[in-house]
Chain A
């Protein structure tokens, strides 16, 4: 099975900072990569799919890029409400494996 590895596992940044989270697949997955945001105590929410397409209603400060095995999620200007754990996920074929998550905190 393809493994999904995120880095870093945790991240502390200041409001207004540019934040980047990376996700690496152990084999190529084309652009079948999604990013989810899970705020503390809440249900995961789809942020980005097809590696770079913003889900409806998601603020434009979020962006995604990459294809094949290497992907990034970028928040252009961190806001306090972005405190959450972010997960990447492959969905080209089952199993629909998630990365281990990146916990983002405000410094």
Chain B
């Protein structure tokens, strides 16, 4: 069965960086893209960016350009999302989500979420 398993919760200080992992199993990793979506406490879903696990091509939300980098390690079927220069409003649950083969932006499986708290 398809699973996306994310790394554990983190607490970061303002100005620091974070890197969350998302290990995929149960399917051919390079056949699907991975997006990252975040959700601030009590707020809605915000798409952050996407990577093709086949080509490594990426596309990022404009508001995060320059602060976010999404990568993959095909040898371990793992996607990573790094966010730099953290601010308090980056406090959120971060999800990885698998795009379907036919539509990169349609998310049929999600990771369990990783809570990142930015606080001094």
Binding site for B on A (CB under 8 A): 1, 32, 34, 36, 38, 43-46, 49, 55, 85, 87, 89-101
Which B residues touch A98, using CB under 8 A? 37, 44-47
Indicate whether B29 reaches chain A with its CB closer than 8 angstroms.
no
Q: Are A49 and B47 in contact (CB-based, < 8 A)?
A: no
Nearest-neighbour CB distance to chain A for B70, whole angstroms, equals 12
Say which one of B15-23, B71-79, B80-88, B105-113 lies at the interface with A: B105-113
Set of chain A residues within 8 Å of B107, measured between Cβ atoms? 34, 36, 44, 46
The answer on a CB contact under 8 Å between A46 and B105 is no
The tally of residues in B whose CB lies under 8 Å from a CB in A reads: 22
A-B contact count (CB 8 A): 63
**Are B35 and A101 in contact (CB-based, < 8 A)?**
no
Q: Are A89 and B105 closer than 8 Å at their CB atoms?
A: yes
Residues in A with CB closer than 8 Å to B97 are: 44
A45 to B105 alpha-carbon distance, docked (Å): 14
Main secondary structure of the interface of A (DSSP, over half): loop
Q: Is the CB of A34 within 8 A of B106?
A: yes
Interface residues of B (CB under 8 A from A): 35, 37, 44-47, 50, 59, 61-62, 95, 97, 103-108, 110-113
- Which residues of chain B are within 8 angstroms of A34 by Cβ–Cβ distance? 106-107
Q: Which residue of B lies closest to A91 (CB)?
A: B105
Query: How many Å from the CB of B92 to the closest CB on chain A?
Result: 14
Chain B residue at minimum C-beta to C-beta distance from A99:
B44
Q: List 23 A-B contacts (CB under 8 A).
A: A32-B105, A34-B106, A43-B111, A44-B37, A44-B107, A44-B110, A46-B106, A46-B107, A46-B108, A49-B106, A85-B44, A87-B44, A89-B47, A90-B105, A91-B105, A92-B105, A94-B59, A95-B47, A96-B35, A96-B47, A98-B37, A98-B47, A99-B44
Given the known inter-chain contacts A91-B104, A95-B61, please indicate yes or no for A101 contacting B110, CB distance below 8 A: no
- By the criterion CB–CB under 8 Å, are B44 and A95 in contact? no
